Structure 1
């Protein structure tokens, strides 16, 4: 999927650069107005988010019909591909998912079954990382950390 996204993004940029008027549907990864719902799916509602400095935001979404959480890291200003990631982990079940690579607009989706469980999640864009632990645990307080490498 990463390869397809890169190839399609490159094709779209070439078409624009030469002034082609051919109708070319740009992939979601190149869309400047990407939303967590476009990345994760229409059944997913945003339940939490964390800014990644001024570069973008990592979103935690939940689908109540299947009990799955999804995370997506979305850049504020899409452009040249940069290192990005998104991840989610459920400590109670020791299940997790991640997506890491060079992307122009977003990393993800990463899905895990999280109904009735606390989740840890986060992501990064370039050299700015964010992680949220103990999230969505009712009365428990989550912990957030942002750092630069």
Structure 2
């Protein structure tokens, strides 16, 4: 599924595994980019309760802006995009309130 259209590529340091407190995998959060548009996308993909609507969140922070998020009950994933031309980003995601992300600036350009 390609909700945002275009050609998206993976990024350096653009993946985090989301685990619960016991270490069991809950899902993954990915940062991707589209070099043609300068857009970045964050997708949080569930690994548990797939097909059942449970809490999923994706967040993207572009330097100089505020967090852009998709947050709600979804069956498979949450995704968000924003333009980050010539700026750095942070990203995070959560599945059923267990979170992971990168909270330092990176992927600048």
Q: Shorter-normalised TM-score: what interval? A: 0.7 to 0.9
1:123 aligns with 93
Q: Give the helix-richer structure, 1 or 2.
A: 1
> Which structure has the higher relative contact order (CA within 8 Å, separation 6+)?
2
1:57 aligns with 28
Q: Report the CA distance between 1:105 and its aligned residue.
A: 0.5
Q: Give the strand-richer structure, 1 or 2.
A: 2
Deviation readout 1:58-115 (Å, 9 max, x if unpaired): 1101000000101110012413211110010112x3144210000110011x111112
1:105 aligns with 76
Deviation readout 1:27-79 (Å, 9 max, x if unpaired): x5xxxxxxxxx344341112111111101111101000000101110012413
Structure 1: tracts of 5 or more residues without a match:
1-27, 29-37, 139-149
Deviating 4+ runs (over 4 angstroms): none
Normalised to the residue count of structure 2, the TM-score between the two structures is 0.80
**Take 2:5 and 2:28, find their aligned partners in 1: how far apart are those partners?**
17
Match of 1:88 among 60, 68, 72: 60
**Take 1:55 and 1:135, find their aligned partners in 2: how far apart are those partners?**
24
Structure 2: tracts of 5 or more residues without a match:
20-24
1:44 aligns with 8
Structure 1 residues 39 and 135 mapped into 2: Cα distance closer, same or farther (>3 Å)?
Answer: farther
